[in-house]
Amino acid sequence: MLSIKWDDTYCNGIPLLDTQNKNFVEMLNLLFEYQDTNPDTSLLYQKFREVETYAREHFRREELFLEQFYPDELADHRSQHSLFLDNLKCFSCTVVSDGPDAVNDLSCYIRDWAVIHIGFMDKSITSCIKIPTPTI
Ligand SMILES: [Fe+2]
């Protein structure tokens, strides 16, 4: 079964973002679990759409945070989030017609994207803190 094992290596030290990312991962794990026990692709299509809705709101909050505290990071994140949502929407439409292989391909894409995005891109946010130059 696909899954993402959450641990502190995904954290960037910003509690708001870490909590939201952890919740997002929990939702994805529920999707992967559901996928293994429910072969009905029409229901799985609905689950993928629920993940899309959840992700859209999750990304919106993250982008608001970035806009406020890390504006230099916003453009890259926004484009990555947008690409993910576009792919999720596009590929979830193929699930009903193409069956279990399409489900598995899409879930693998979601898992891989989340691991890389959260583990590297979101995690690197805190490395972008501008340290003011001390004046003597
Ligand atoms: Fe992000």
pLDDT tens digits, residue range 15-27? Answer: 989 999 999 999 9
- Looking at the predicted structure, is the pLDDT value of residue 126 above 60? yes
CA of 114 to the centre of ligand 1 (A): 9
Cα(59) to centroid(ligand 1), Å: 6
Q: How far is the CA of 37 from the centre of ligand 1 (A)?
A: 30
- Kindly list the structural domains of the chain, giving each domain's residue range(s) and its CATH number in brackets, ordered by start: 12-128 (1.20.120.50)
Instruction: State mean pLDDT over 69-84.
Output: 94
Q: Are 51 and 87 in contact (CB under 8 A)?
A: no
Confidence check: pLDDT of 132 > 60: no
* pLDDT (average), residues 105-116: 96
CA of 70 to the centre of ligand 1 (A): 12
- Write the DSSP assignment of the chain as a string of letters: -------GGG--S-HHHHHHHHHHHHHHHHHHHHHHH---HHHHHHHHHHHHHHHHHHHHHHHHHHHHH-HHHHHHHHHHHHHHHHHHHHHHHHHHHH-HHHHHHHHHHHHHHHHHIIIIIIGGGGGGPPPPPP--
Ligand 1 geometric centre to CA of 132 (Å)? 25
Query: How much is the pLDDT for 131?
Result: 47
- pLDDT tens digits, residue range 6-53? 999 999 889 989 999 999 999 999 999 999 898 888 899 999 999 999
